[in-house]
Structure 1
Amino acid sequence: MSKLEHGGFDNQEDFDKWVTERERVLFEKDKFDAIGKGNDYLFQALAHLGNGSHKLSIATTVMSELDEVPEDLKTELKGIQQQLHDFQDKLRNIQQHKKP
């Protein structure tokens, strides 16, 4: 395969190494490994959802002060935020009943 097909990589092995490294960083694998949760994907999903929920909360707060955003959109975002919280609760329930 040409360098262009691999985004500038000389061979498949170099490309695969790059992908593995990007996955490690994107999914914060080192952090989860450090706390013994490297293979607990439900825990990891909850952690990433928590980060997303935090960012969504910030967006909701910022948008609340914008006059140009209609109230129905603000309300819709709050509903999405509540749905996310409800979903997290469902996952936590699964986590609590999962075998150690």
Structure 2
Amino acid sequence: MKKCRITVMRITRYEDLMARYENPIEHACEMQEGQVFIANGWERPEGFCPSAWDTLSPFVLALSHGAEDFYEGWMKNPRSAMLSCNDGFRPVSFLVEALNEDAD
């Protein structure tokens, strides 16, 4: 089993949807663009958003166990995936990459 790097690539905010539908929330998302997490195999990295992990974890699990080429050539790097969390107001895009380093 391998480690995986998870990089926060982009954070989008839909202010119009937030104003119309969301109850005010302080610190709804603590992620920052460029932030990097290392998943030790399929384990959620410390400080990583639990909700985002629910979306990413099946891909991290697969990549950490050697899966490649999701959706028949979707990614230039077959050992990676570009994914977003399920927050409809401020979705965060993550690049998940399998590393050559073995998990602990």
The two structures share one fold, judged by TM-score above 0.5: no
Structure with more strand by fraction? 2
Structure with more helix by fraction? 1
Higher Cα radius of gyration: 1
Q: TM-score, normalised by structure 2?
A: 0.22
Q: TM-score, normalised by structure 1?
A: 0.23
